[in-house]
Amino acid sequence: MKVAIGQFAVSHLWQENVQTCLHYMDTAQADGADLLVLPEAVLARDDNDPDLSVKSAQAVHHEFIQPLCEQSRNNQLTTILTLHVKTTAGRAANTLLAIRKGEVIARYQKLHLYDAFNVQESRLVDAGNALPPLIEVAGFKVGLMTCYDLRFPEMALNLALAGAEVLVLPAAWLRGPNKEMHWSTLLAARALDTTCYVVASGECGNKNIGHSQIVDPLGVVMAAANQRPALFYAELESQYLSEVRAMLPVLKNRRFALPHLL
């Protein structure tokens, strides 16, 4: 499976962000990608207004998603991103959407809200209460996660035990002391915990680190970006995944059952 990551700085105008997403989708599809992972909260962002993503929230099938669905209608590319979807007055759900062949084929409401490092995502965002689904892309089973979910190993493990071979993670990882180190360490750890490929797209810009990565099941970085907008690729191999899982059978060697997540 050929996977692509599109990393960019989200604008305060959702119309501009739609065009950026469409550009990455068009290029990734032309380059033969099966899966494209875009950042978290691509609807709108403003350094001077941390609430803009929620203020700009739309319904799932509204102006932002419609052109992306239309772009996907005549090809097999699966595109994954998150945006804020309206819930009640002044509140929203941070919602991951998987788009393919003109439809939203899966959605997931972020479980772990970023109430850490002096930020309180839950102030305006409603947490989900259900594990994300697995989707199939080019013969691989793909598990869905969003940003702060990365810090919770039981979630990645739950997805792997359900059959996931690839974990995808749209993110907007905030800058701060040691945050790049946290990001790279956790991506490698989740790959090693689960012997899954990890495909993580990070929003770049003034407040978020970028540094998107594609990591193999042994925690090795296959491809990565720096702090600038980028579109890059890697080939995921089912044979290699099988070899790693035979050599490092951590999913089979477990001695303790996973507690129920919720």
Catalytic residues: 40, 110, 147
Tokens describing residue 67: 């052109």
Identify the CA nearest to 27 among candidates 236, 231, 234: 231
Strand order in the sheet with 2-7: 103-109, 92-100, 78-86, 35-37, 2-7, 230-235
What's the rounded Cα separation, in Å, for the pair 97 and 109?
Answer: 9
Tokens describing residue 19: 């065009």
What's the rounded Cα separation, in Å, for the pair 238 and 105?
Answer: 23
CA dihedral 171, 174, 175, 180 (to 10 degrees): -40
